[in-house]
Amino acid sequence: MSVETARSIILLRHAKADWPQVSDHDRPLAERGRKEAPLAGDWLAKEGLAPDRALCSTAVRTRETWKLVVPKLPARPKTVYEDRLYEASLGELIAVVNETPDDVRNLIVIGHNPGVHALADALSARADDDAAARMNRSGFPTAAIAVVSFAGDWKSVEHGMDGTLTHFWTSHT
């Protein structure tokens, strides 16, 4: 009989982006986003949420967000820039997460809405404290973070799984 490994998936929506005359994929962070992203990193560090691996969308705004978050963490995790996270559906997000190596216990995904919010909802059968109520009340604003814990391997991650939303944070009031 094998013991199921406790894991967590940290879902981070990119910080506030600007709207210059560039393709959506190439939109950079706005000034507000450059202030939000380090706050998200500070919160992760304060909560002791240290990812072993990062999956980051290749969009400019997600890469810039991650670049401002990661210096706040106690250690820099291996980062994989993943084209499939940009404009990913719930099913596509789950497929990418399912490819995570077994030695990863804590995964952070830096992506976009509505996907990150949908993934947090889909993986959370229950929530600690009022995390789900806060997440649903606020939507999933820029630079928001949801953390879902579960037991099992990454291949078992699927819609409706028995995960627990342990944290929801946003710098927005």
Order of strands across the sheet that contains 6-13:
78-82, 53-57, 106-111, 6-13, 145-151, 163-169, 124-127
Closest by alpha carbon to 97, among 109, 87, 89? 109
Tokens found for residue 10: 């940290």
Phi, psi of 134, rounded to the nearest 5 degrees: -65, -40
pLDDT above 50 for 72: yes
Tokens found for residue 74: 């106690």
pLDDT of residue 48: 96
Q: Which residues are tagged catalytic?
A: 14, 87
113-153 confidence digits (pLDDT tens): 999 999 999 999 999 888 988 898 888 999 999 999 999 99
What structural domains and CATH numbers belong to the chain? 6-169 (3.40.50.1240)
Do the annotations mark residue 134 as ligand-binding? no
Start-end of H helices in 14-160: 31-47, 60-69, 90-98, 115-123, 131-138
List, in order, residues 6 or more apart from 152 with CB less than 8 Å away: 4, 5, 7, 161
21-68 confidence digits (pLDDT tens): 999 999 999 999 999 999 999 999 999 999 999 999 999 999 999 999
pLDDT above 60 for 1: no
